[in-house]
């Protein structure tokens, strides 16, 4: 099974949704994690609601989504990544840690730019619509990635 790490600045919305969707759609082929350069400390409730609305399991207990630092994945005891994908432009422009290499091969670097749904203004329905739009884009990018990997 291959491993992928989704990175965003806050690790509260886009990367959380990407992690959950990849673990759902890539089950048995890919194991996903997410992290941020400046984690907010908690997943955005609208991200979790969006996953539930689309029947994507987010995990429970030890597997429940949490906002965490990308430093966790640069340690020697971290899972070795086959790919690292930034899902926001801020994280893509930051200096990332050096990721442990599997068999001397650095992980593939991917960048998928998605707008930040947590920045959406307006009513809760407006915010839900923003999260749904971004989730649809994340789902399309991951589906295309998985198709390429076959």
Q: Which of 13, 47, 88, 138 is catalytic?
A: 88
State the angle between helix axes of 14-25 and 45-53 in degrees (0 to 180), rounded to the nearest 10: 30
Please list the ranges in the chain whose pLDDT falls under 50: 92
pLDDT at res. 58? 82
pLDDT tens per residue across span 33-76: 999 989 999 999 999 999 999 999 887 777 788 999 999 988 88
59 as an active site residue: the answer is no
Active site residue 88: yes
Check 2, 96, 102, 146 and give the catalytic one.
96
| Beta strands per DSSP E along the chain | 2-8, 30-36, 83-86, 108-111
Cβ contacts of 115-123, under 8 Å, gap ≥ 24? 116/13, 116/14, 116/88, 117/13, 117/14, 117/44, 117/46, 117/47, 118/10, 118/12, 118/13, 118/44, 118/46, 118/47
Q: CATH assignment of 2-149, given 3.40.50.2300, 3.40.50.2000, 3.40.50.720, 3.40.50.800?
A: 3.40.50.2300
Q: Given this model, what pLDDT does residue 131 score?
A: 98
């Amino acid at each position: 099974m291959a491993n992928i790490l989704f990175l965003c600045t806050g690790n509260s919305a886009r990367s959380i949704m990407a992690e959950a969707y990849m673990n759902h759609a890539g089950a048995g082929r890919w194991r996903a994690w997410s992290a941020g350069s400046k984690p907010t400390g908690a997943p955005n409730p609208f991200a979790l609601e969006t996953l539930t609305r689309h029947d994507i399991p987010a995990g429970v207990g030890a597997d429940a989504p949490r906002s965490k630092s990308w430093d966790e994945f640069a340690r020697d005891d971290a899972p070795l990544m086959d790919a690292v994908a930034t899902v926001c432009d801020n994280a893509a422009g930051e200096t990332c840690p050096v990721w442990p290499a599997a068999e001397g091969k650095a992980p593939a670097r991917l960048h998928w730019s998605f707008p930040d749904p947590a920045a959406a203004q307006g009513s809760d329905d407006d915010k839900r619509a923003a999260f749904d739009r971004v989730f649809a884009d994340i789902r399309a990018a991951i589906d295309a990635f998985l198709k390429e990997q076959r």
